Structure 1
Amino acid sequence: MAQDNNDEQQLAPDVDGLADQLLGRADAESAQLLGPDGLLTQLTQRVLNRALDAELAEHLGYEKGDAAGRGSGNNRNGTTSKKVLTDIGAVEVNTPRDRNGSFEPKIVPKHARRLVGFNEQILSLYARGMSVRDIRAHLHQMYGVEVSGDVISRVTDAVTEEITIWQNRPLDPVWPIVYIDALWIKIRDGAVSNRPVYLAVGVDLDGCKHILGLWIGPADSGEGARFWASVLAELRNRGITDVLICCCDGLTGLPDAITATWPQTTVQTCCVHLMRASMRFASKKDYPQLIPLLKAIYTAPTEAAAEQALQELEDSTLGRRYPAIGRTWRSAWPEFAPFLAFPPELRRVVYSTNMIESINARLRKVTRNRGHFTSEAAAVKVLYLAIRHLIEPKAGDRNLVPPGWKSALNQLILHFGDRITIR
């Protein structure tokens, strides 16, 4: 550790000195920060070259010009120049060689034409939904470099193995809450068709959310309960033995698929979905009067009070004008009613699938930029990179913990008893 600190202390003055030299020689009125001849490019070039020289010195065991190198059996043998793409553009570096050919540089490896940070730039742009053509144009505009479409494809294809590992990773056995929902994208498979993308998000015992997986369904399936059953079975096979509450929309057959997978799970229909379904039947001019009547149902303190609020809605002028609203709530009542038994702390957490819908909204933005995908594999790659970029790196961020989670967790323990084990 002490040696590392000494190295850092020695490196900082070197970098500062290089910067001072460049600034001292630059014309204050014409100096450029970025670009092929910019100060940052020159500084990066010198730092990389100096780092490569230091690597070779460590490999040989003596500094350049040191008499200790005489008769060592290996010595310096010139340099090889090449351009590498960095975060600030193309930089020409001189890689030193040794006579025995045993030197393997780590900072700029042999045959490398792009540093790791540049690849991450490409993945970040791809994760935002930019096409290969858009990425090429962006890199040319920002850094003045031409990057072929094959290079971009190879960089993004490198995550294929990572996707497979992520999709098959083992999961915790017990999840307090799991949200499931679907979004739609366009994929060309002979002809462009709408395909459902199934998404499952779990909240762990610490209150952090995790994307459990994504699956693309067939074109003719719609958002089907049968496909959801296969998704849930896969989650069970990956280690999930129990889900306390599964929050979903009102898709016919979905509650049966959930309870067939985890018999003890409480299936909760999303209240926001019920509200939206109700609004479809009403004129917008009636929304101000209708919303308070609907809100009185899902904010009722007990199931009996909620039934009374629903009856009052059905008996009202709006209820008689829009009878389909009452029927919607009646048909969803078996999956809506469990919500009413929860205390306020728990209701706030499971009241809607907004947590997963906020993720879907960001994924829709990414897919909308692409129009349609050339294949299912291309769609999965973009969706995964978007998830990795937007969600997964922040999985430990306490800002993602739902407000009041500790209170909700205590209520979960009281409500579900020994099904929760705090490690």
Structure 2
Amino acid sequence: TYVHVRDDALGQIVSRAVVVATGVTSEGGREVLGVDIGDSEDETFWTAFLRSLKTRGLSGVRLVISDAHAGLKAAIRKTMSGTSWQRCRVHYMRNLHAVIPRAHQDMVSAAFRTIFALSEPAAVIARWDEVADTLEARFPKAAASMRDAKLDVLAFAQFPIAHWRKIWSNNPLERLNKEIKRRTNVVGIFPNDQAVIRLVGAVLADQHDDWIIARRYLTDTSLAELDGTRDTDTTSATGITTGT
């Protein structure tokens, strides 16, 4: 989410990025992990943000879900070695549309969705390859894109099937970002960064409280499938979702 902030030093209104991270704990509950604001979403900014989460106790991350922002990807590799990365399937589909003529986008989208209707990892992978092969003759750029993105978009298939719909995109965070955008649009121009953090922090605190009393996002049964033993430290996470 981007907001407008008055920069007294520059004497002008500037656009600032507000980034949010949410996660699922080892007990299956959802939590807001952090929020920050910066001039740009470069690698330096994202690295500092992710390190701040770890400094405050984040550990045991199995999966990070995000779009394919270059700075964020580099920061994940730098700060979370050994963690899988799931490229948001919704964002990827939008990227795929960019190399497909508008008249054919609905057809390609329908074929793409069939991949995610399957319930076995091997079948998902095979169907991905089939769709890419089908696109090769008419849309070679799209086919090449699918082959390049395969491992990242299908990272969810390594996890329990019960988790798939909840981890193959960052749509849950997108819904939260829409609420943040709605609230910040009411203000219009913020006097400083601190004012942004106060408002966004209040939105996130409300959401965090709702999640605490809500039914667990991931069940004990499905979490037990991750491995034979469960980490009971609630500061650890099975996955985090990041984005603007």
1:396 aligns with one of 193, 202, 212: 212
Maintained 8 Å contact 2:84/2:155: yes
**Is residue 89 of structure 2 the alignment partner of residue 279 of structure 1?**
no
> RMSD of the alignment, in Å?
2.5
Name the structure 1 match of 2:158: 341
Name the structure 2 match of 1:196: 17
| Alignment of structure 1 residues 12-51 onto 2, 5 Å | none
Name the structure 1 match of 2:3: 185
- Pairwise CA distance, 1:204: 1.4
| Alignment of structure 1 residues 153-302 onto 2, 5 Å | 183-189=1-7, 190-218=11-39, 221=40, 223-299=41-117, 301-302=120-121
- Pairwise CA distance, 1:396: 1.8
Counterpart AA for 1:380: I
**Is residue 175 of structure 2 the alignment partner of residue 362 of structure 1?**
no
More off after superposition, 267-276 vs 322-331: 322-331
Residues 349 and 310 of structure 1, relative CA distance in 2, 3 Å threshold: closer
| Alignment of structure 1 residues 37-76 onto 2, 5 Å | none
- Pairwise CA distance, 1:381: 1.5
TM-score by length of 1: 0.49
Structure 1: give runs of 5+ residues left out of the alignment.
1-182
- Pairwise CA distance, 1:273: 1.6
Work out the percentage of aligned pairs sharing the same amino acid. 26
**Is residue 230 of structure 2 the alignment partner of residue 411 of structure 1?**
no
The number of residue pairs the alignment matches comes to 229
Secondary structure of 1:213 counterpart = strand
**Is residue 164 of structure 2 the alignment partner of residue 353 of structure 1?**
no
Instruction: Using CA pairs under 8 Å that are at least 6 residues apart, name the structure with larger relative contact order, 1 or 2.
Output: 2
- Pairwise CA distance, 1:295: 2.0
Residues 284 and 185 of structure 1, relative CA distance in 2, 3 Å threshold: same
Counterpart AA for 2:66: C
Name the structure 1 match of 2:192: 375
- Pairwise CA distance, 1:299: 4.6
Deviation per residue, 1:124-149 (Å, 9 max, x gap): xxxxxxxxxxxxxxxxxxxxxxxxxx
Deviation per residue, 1:181-221 (Å, 9 max, x gap): xx222222122222111111011133222111110011xx2
- Pairwise CA distance, 1:259: 3.5
Counterpart AA for 1:294: F
Secondary structure of 2:2 counterpart = strand
Counterpart AA for 1:200: A
Measured in 2, the distance between the counterparts of 1:209 and 1:321 equals: 43
Structure 2: give runs of 5+ residues left out of the alignment.
234-244
Which has more radius of gyration? 1
Deviation per residue, 1:228-250 (Å, 9 max, x gap): 11111111111223211111111
- Pairwise CA distance, 1:289: 1.4
TM-score by length of 2: 0.81
Residues 362 and 289 of structure 1, relative CA distance in 2, 3 Å threshold: same
Residues 367 and 327 of structure 1, relative CA distance in 2, 3 Å threshold: farther
Measured in 2, the distance between the counterparts of 1:366 and 1:272 equals: 24
Counterpart AA for 2:13: V
- Pairwise CA distance, 1:283: 4.3
Measured in 1, the distance between the counterparts of 2:109 and 2:95 equals: 12
Counterpart AA for 2:147: R
Secondary structure of 2:58 counterpart = coil
Maintained 8 Å contact 2:24/2:31: yes
Counterpart AA for 1:398: A
Name the structure 1 match of 2:241: none
Measured in 1, the distance between the counterparts of 2:136 and 2:189 equals: 42
Moved over 6 A (4+): none
Residues 253 and 306 of structure 1, relative CA distance in 2, 3 Å threshold: farther
Residues 287 and 408 of structure 1, relative CA distance in 2, 3 Å threshold: farther
Maintained 8 Å contact 2:5/2:192: yes
